[in-house]
Structure 1
Amino acid sequence: MTERYQYLNPIYQEVLKHERLRNLMRIAKCMESSTVGVFETTIDDKIIDVSISFCELLGYSNSQIRELNYEQICYPDDLSAYYVLKERLLSGEIDRCYLNVRYIREDGQIVQVIQSTDLDISGAKEPYFVNRFEDITDWERTDRNKQDFENRTRYLFENNPHPMWIYNLETLDFLAVNQAAINHYGYSEAEFLSMTVLDIRPVEEVPKLLEAIAKVSIGFSVPEIWTHRKKDGSQILVEVSAHTLEYQNHRCELILINDVTQKIQAQEDLKRAEAKYRSIFENAVEGIFQTSADGKFLIANPMLAKIYGYASPEDLVTNLTNIEEQLYVDPQRRLELIELLTEQEDVKQFESQVYRKDGSMIWTSENVHAVRDVIGNIIYFEGTVEDITASKLAKAEIEHLAFHDSLTDLPNRVLFRDRLCAALVNASAQLQTHIERNQITDIKTLPPLLAVMFLDLDRFKLVNDTMGHAAGDRLLIEVAKRLSDCMFESTFLARMGGDEFMIFVSELQSIESIQQFAQLILQSFEHPFLVEETPLHIGTSIGISLYPNDGMDEETLMKNADTAMFRAKERGRNHYQLYNHAIGAKVKEYVAIENGIRQALERSEFQVFYQPQINLVTGKIDCMEALARWLHPELGWVPPNQFIPAAEEHGLIVRLGEWVLCTACQQNYLWQSQGLPAIRMAVNFSAQQFQVTDLCTRVMQILSETGLEPQYLEIEITESLVMQDQSTTIAVLKKLKSLGMSISIDDFGTGYSSLSYLRLLPVSKVKIDASFIRETPQNRDDAAITSAIIAMAHNLNLRVIAEGVEREEQLEFLRSHNCDAVQGYLFSRPIPADEATLILQSQFL
């Protein structure tokens, strides 16, 4: 019903509406002396409640009239007007409507009434219409009332805000126009009265108009859309409502005009927008969806169906009815997504592994928004889905290549160091437990907790020289396979480069067990390796270092295992050798460092040395790195890899780091005040410093006290620092950068998380770890990793500096791969402030 009559707009009801507004008292007075009744109807026009006067007027009993619909009691020609006003009530356009309408009695007679209708939405029951009526059948038949009715109609005609006119159906002349028509069309009243209705129509519509006029019948006509021409020549679209009447003794039509040009234009714009949206929806390269809160798809576009492997959106909606269980490989991910949406309303790039219709698995990234009702309850979810399987695999492949040897596919040195560090954390915890439980003071009495093994193939160079590098590569592959066969649960094997391999064994129980394992490896080499159908007999020399006796950190353990391997070769090759050293001297030195670290700051034993960083484009120093050095009164210069861990263990690293920062900033400001060009000062920050709640405030305070501007301070961090407390560290780094400082990553490439988290950090520079530079460019793996880091950093708009540059060939390799800056002994060792000043003066003055 709604669609059928939504465009109807009868003129006579407009007249009565204005009559109500302007002559309310007159109508009320008439009703006081008239028979007034009430009846109620549902939204679909079923009569549900009536007054006695309504039954008496129509001649039905109460029960009989309740079986009828409104259209059964209303004269057919008057239904159009009722439907139009009913739609306006439902849309909220008007609050009440008035009709001059005819009812059909039970005996077939016609009665004339004035009907007012209201929509009741009070909430006590379903919305319904309240209809009040007054029988005016006899009232309109008196001459007095007819004259009164004509006067009121004329008044409403002249003052109606819509254009109105009356024209002669025979001559088509305008007989009367109201002021609204004059204002809207631009013609004067005299001009209108000298014209016909044909004069305001485009020529092409005249035949259609004449045809429509010839078919005019008595009463209201259904509103139609026509094109009219205004005096200035512009054309408008109008909705024309007409009603026949006798006027000046002529058969005429009363016309009401509703200019719908903008409305139709808006409708056309809406259609175009909907068509555009539909096109985007149907042809989007991303999946688009709406889902219910209970896990059902409500809407899906073709791309979503394609992503999930369904033939069509309809196929997907019909068959995928339990998103949590049918779609997600891990159903918990759906619950996590809903929990996030409950908390923050929008979720971006939510990655999950999902099933396709055929059971295969893919990775997807979702952007989802929670749509809520007015009181905040979630109605449904909507969003987009992207298949990221290819990029996920590519990323995994890149990370695999970064941490695995390209020839043997074994873990490389980077991954080995990372996993060894993690194993040492566990071993350190076990060591502490042993010490506390057994009150041990001499760690020599403890069984080893972890072993590091360094393997080097015997006479491998001879294979390369006699059979070629291809044969050597094939031999390395076969060696890797055989070594892998010897591994068990608590071992980790890696190729370090060339013909060198390393293994660490965690959860070690005794020296005898590692000796047995080493012997097993040596026995596996007793069988020849088949290379290019040639059997090759080759052995290996193995060096072994043990934790904690032979070292407390990965660097020391690896170095001592390397030393032991050379001793094994000295014994005649194809042997293993345990590292042997003067443990008493080491322990004495360790204790001295532990005890002395507390007094070192008070005694001013620490110094800050500076190592220049050279810009490879300008050849000049553009940054100095500040490095802490400790001159112990008994031990002499203590290496940083010994006193830094001690300072961290005793909670002094924050104090030491702040002293280094303050000293370095003072020195940089002094250089600037001496007229030297302004350069950046790079200062290393520890993980413990980032746990200080007011770190940003303290750094700014130091800059203010020393006079150094923030732009000349560069903060160096390690990847492992970020991994300890990602959210807190990243937030602090962003704050420091916003205050004007620059951020760089030190020892880049040695952390297992570098590729995953680099894009999240507000860094401007990465420093390639010296371990990659040491054998570059001779070592192909190191060279490949170094060049890859440079390329990746440049793609992310980051500068790259290489540390540990000691030889010209290293410098040329880095320059050929567009490395931005270098640092190392080739240019300068870390030096005291006075020597650093001389270097700066020699370059810039």
Structure 2
Amino acid sequence: MSLTYILSIILRLFTLAWAVNLLRRIRDWRIGLLTIMLTVILGIQVFPLFGAWSSDWVLENGSGDFYWLAASGTMLLAFIFLGGAVTEHRMTRSRLFKEEQAFKSLYEHNPDAVYTLDLEGRLLASNPACLSILGYEGHDFKNRTVFEVVVEEELEKARTHFSAAVNGNPQTYELLVYHKDGRRLALQVTNVPIYADGVVVGIYGIAKNITEQKAAEHERVLTTQKYQDLLETIEAVVWEGNPETFEYLFISPQSRRILGYTPEQLISDHAFWQSKVHPDDFEMMMSYCKQEVAAGRSHTIEYRMIAADGRTVWLKDFVTVVQENGVVTGCRGIMVDITARKLAEERLQHIAYFDVLTSMPNRTLFEDRLSLEMARSRRQSQTLAVLLLDLDRFKYINDTLGHAVGDELIRAVAERLQTCVREGDTVSRIGGDEFTLILPDLRSPQDAVSVARMILQRMTAPFVIEQNELFATCSIGISFFPDDGADLSTLMKNAESAMYRAKERGRNNYQLYTTSMNEDAMQKLSLERYLRKALGLDEFVLFYQPQVNVQSGEIFGVEALLRWKHPTLGMVSPASFIPLAEETGLIVPIGEWVLRTACEQIKSWHAAGYGHLTVAVNLSARQFQQEDLVEMVQRVLEETSVEPRFLELEITESVTMHNVERAIVILNELKNLGIRISLDDFGTGYSSLSYLKHFPIHTLKIDQSFVRDITTDADDAAIATSVIALAHSLNLQVVAEGVETEEHLRYLAARGCVEMQGYHFSRPLPAQEIEALFQSGKTFAL
């Protein structure tokens, strides 16, 4: 056996093993088939080698050994080459596979639409995003062109760009298309031609959905436009300036509207702007702004500028200082026209300290000045007087002629008061029809008295307002500092006490404060406190005064009169507490109690057999102003089961004169209930006979002031006789009050007045004594 032969066998075996291994790695069927054929040939060639086996060992055994060695080596080289080729082929396929996968991933997972079109625009292929963006399924585009989803107004543009791409020119453009649900989408489309053998065979394209981007751009445009409109319409000037020179770099167009200057005027000429700042404000404004900008502080400042038309314009400048890394790099701000606010503040300042109607100092300024004058008088040991003045019967004028006339009267009074004082004196209107005067530096109290007398004298002249000649008197109270009060509150309180004393003494006069006035005021306060509790404590009682027909001698009715029996004060005079009840409004609940109690009493007397009796109840002015007066009276009648014809309500002339039309309405409503109406104290008020015929009254009552001296005073006798005649001519019942003597009785009866009441017949009595009078059977015939 030669070594060459053995080497051939080894090479053949190695080659066979390589071939088998190579065969396992081959995936291409063609190369695999070639490898199998070579492997089979190699296997066939290996077996003859073993058939020539010999036990003799030589280097070589003729030329045949070299042939086998060469053939085996060649076969090995062929398989090595084939293996290399297979390896390279596998590597190439692997690389291509990876590239294919990468492209496929890019194609399928690309968020943008990737598609291929034919030359007619039909969709040949697309990635999932393409259909997803449009909301379609794959079958929706079968045999359809992409032009079918293009918005109508963009169709021509789409065709133009597609044709350009078909002609070999890549195109990028924006296009509006329809989503499947009808929405419009904005796409950025890129179309490039696909070449084959130098000829365009299709279109490859990418479409990016830019709908949100377009919406954002549109919003930005709107926002920009909005801010531009805001700059042009906002009532403020927006500016940007140089923090070193304070020159404007930008000013919004509103400078023309607010100041009358164009932005160009204020930007180009810094000296021009400086000259338009109010000279009284320029130094302050520049100094403050430089200080704040140097410190890097944003700030606010108010100053004035002279507008192009000469107006003074108040500006409020909100300045923002811009910094970068601690260094001031700019400043910008907003100038707001606050002229209206400044004028309003001035008006409010005036309103806060001056009366709107008269432009006189009001209560606030009056008290401030009085405090200052009192302090000065204290330091200089001087006398100061305070006069508190209140117009008499102003409410009557106001209610009768209206508030417009009342306001004009107040203005006219204010002007007259100004003529009565010195330059350093203060005249104030502190509310309604009340005025105060501060008279400092008095030599004696007589100086204040002289001013008061001058005021009263000048008020006697009539005021002509809207063709009405009006007479307005006043009541004046005077107090002195420091004798009548060391502080403002006490001084004013005492002047008010003096003023009320002037009213009590008939009005149209002045009174100096005395300590007794405070005692009277305290008594009044104490009485009011007791009065507020009296109704709840059942302290009121009703007395009844008989009303007599002197022809028959019978008592036909009674008048209910209120009395107050206090546990400590005893019987309080009606003259003391009735006006106080009117003033405080307590007369309303008290009056309802009186009406209810009188009705219950008359019902009781009717049940006792005195069914002809009527009861008269007085209605005060305050009660007559109640909105629910008629309803209240009707309710009391129903609850007490009294027939309305047995109730007579007495009113005074003055009650009806405040508002004649309303009085007529209310009286008619009461009359329609069946209630009798009597006019009390007739002849003492301010009534007009022209109104009297319109009042639905049943009875006129002659006031006792005319009856008292009827037999001795010709005037009283004439008035009483006239009232009786008037009542008869109007078919009214007439009752004389205050009949105290037989002479009164006979005089009135002789003139046709046969119904009377007064002490000649009976004083007012409690209910029990009235019953005793009924039971006695006493008559009062002539």
TM-score when normalising by structure 1: 0.36
Structure with higher Rg: it is 2
- The structure in which a higher percent of residues are helix is 2
TM-score when normalising by structure 2: 0.38
